[in-house]
Amino acid sequence: MNRIIKNKAAWLDSLKNITALCFFLFISACSNTALEHAESLGALANPASTHCSLIGGKSAIEKADQGDRGYCNLPGGSTFDEWLLYRLNHQVLYTLQQDDAGIKIEHYQSKAIDFNGDSCPDFLILMNYESGYCGNAGCSLVALLCEDETLRFISNTPIVNEPIYLSKLTSFGMRDIIVRKSGGGYPSSDARLKFDGVKYPENDSRDSATILTSDKELVFGLGQ
């Protein structure tokens, strides 16, 4: 009887050791999996970098004593603080809705650009036919200017067509906008929208211009 009791006790001790070992291995495996998952999430957790990639940009990190800072380098050559770009991109719809609460995000396409070289992201917005801001000859083009890290509406130019460019030429420190105009029985041609110190033109008084491809940056459309 004593031998049976001793054998049973030894068996129970072995079982406890095996159970403890299995539990340790299980916890270790779970910890490693959780760590790998956390590291994976960490790599994807920056929405500003993700947004930069989605709009065709490339993220870059600048090391500094105060901490790392991320930038988004866009195809057109502009470079913006990626968190500021991300925040202002989400502010576009809100800014448009201050003028028309019925505007929805599917009513337009937007592009971050830099009108005046201050490295604060401005935006050009081209409305589409679902918005109600289009006619037979084209759609409205809205310009939003970044001031003090917030967006301000500066102009709405109706009846423009793609392709739309930013010129390297400036008027009152703001880059000219090149649009395609057509309709009225006239052949289509390029027109230059010049900033007048307050806004871009809101009517058809546009200067015709032939701009060399090297002197302009494509914003909307397939280009020439």
Residue 25 placed within a domain = no
- The closest of 130, 136, 174 to 155, measured between CA atoms, is 174
CB 125 within 8 A of CB 92: yes
Over residues 171-181, mean pLDDT:
94
Residue 198 placed within a domain = yes
Number of helical H runs and strand E runs in the chain:
3, 12
Scanning the chain, the segments in alpha helix (DSSP H) are 2-44, 47-54, 82-97
**How many independent structural domains does the chain possess?**
1
Give yes or no for residue 38 having a pLDDT over 50: no
pLDDT score of 66: 79
CB 96 within 8 A of CB 125: yes
> pLDDT tens digit string along 9-37?
554 465 455 555 454 444 455 445 544 54
Confidence at 100, pLDDT banded by 50, 70, 90: very high
Residue 111 placed within a domain = yes
Give yes or no for residue 2 having a pLDDT over 70: no
Using CA atoms, how far apart are residues 105 and 93, in angstroms rounded to an integer? 6
178: left (phi over 0), alpha (psi -120 to 50) or beta: beta
Residue 115 placed within a domain = yes
pLDDT score of 186: 66
In the chain, how long is the greatest CA-to-CA distance?
A: 113
Residue 62 placed within a domain = yes
Residue 1 placed within a domain = no
- Phi and psi at 66, nearest 5°, equal -80, -5
> pLDDT tens digit string along 125-134?
999 999 999 9
> pLDDT tens digit string along 142-164?
999 999 999 999 999 998 999 99
Prior bond of 47 cis (ω within 30°): no
Share of the chain above pLDDT 70, in %: 72
Domain residues for the domain of 141 are: 48-220
pLDDT score of 190: 87
pTM of the model: 0.76
3-state secondary structure of 119: coil
